[in-house]
Amino acid sequence: MRLVELCKGSEWKKAVDDLYAKDIVSVEPREMAGLPAEMRGIDQVRGK
């Protein structure tokens, strides 16, 4: 429920900081706008 609360309040960055693991892996179906399909680590995901 915390994620929903933060997103409803437009607190996307706080949601990432508070709830995502430092070693998160984000996987998209394909590369988009110069971004790789797979990103590893919280810093890369923050930069999406």
**What would the 3-class secondary structure string for 11-34 be?**
CHHHHHHHHCCCCCEEECCCCECC
Q: How far is CA 13 from the centre of its chain?
A: 9
Q: What is the pLDDT of residues 15-44, one digit of tens each?
A: 999 999 999 999 999 999 889 999 999 999
Residue 48 — pLDDT band, cuts 50, 70, 90? confident
